Amino acid sequence: MPLLEDLYARQRARQIEILPFFYSADFPNSAVAANTTPAPVSVNIQSDSHFVVRYFDITVYTSVPFAVFTGMPALLIQFFDTGSGRTLFDNLQPIQNVCGGVAAGAGQGSLPFILPEPWLIRAGGSLQVTIQNAGGITFPRVNVSLPGFKVFKFGGGAPGDLS
């Protein structure tokens, strides 16, 4: 059974609670210089619940004070779940492939990318986000958002049983 169907059935049976939540990886302070790959940013999943990633979204800033970059930055991205030891992609992917697109007249971050199947990250795990700047522009800040939801045991503050 697909993950969402299983989780919604468990929610209806009052076995788990699902609450919307966002995690994010912030690459600040000129960390994404032109033609570089800065150190990965870790996103620590809180131990109170599992996390299900539904979307990816990215906002790229081009100046300080911050202004949203409205072009198509030449950035590549990779996600690594340290708990399972799995990467999400076989290699770095252009952000336009996996972090949404730009609506006409809007900046980055306007259209999130919907995962074909949500991605479960276990409670207490860590997700490493790697960005590579393949272009000639330095970005003073890049923010990758992971909208989704937390999965709790019904009526308690513990992670829901997903076995």
Could you tell me the pLDDT band of residue 163, with boundaries at 50, 70 and 90?
Answer: low
pLDDT (tens digit, 9 = 90+) per residue, 11-54? 999 999 999 999 999 987 667 888 888 889 999 999 989 999 99
Tally of CA atoms within 13 A in the half-sphere of 126 that contains its CB: 6
Residue 56 lies in a domain: yes
Number of domains in the chain: 1
Q: Which domain CATH number covers 103?
A: 2.60.120
Considering only residues 85 and 112, tell me which one the structure prediction assigns the higher pLDDT: 85
Q: Which two tokens stand for residue 150?
A: 């937390």
Residue 6 lies in a domain: no
Residue 2 lies in a domain: no
Domain residues for 81? 20-148
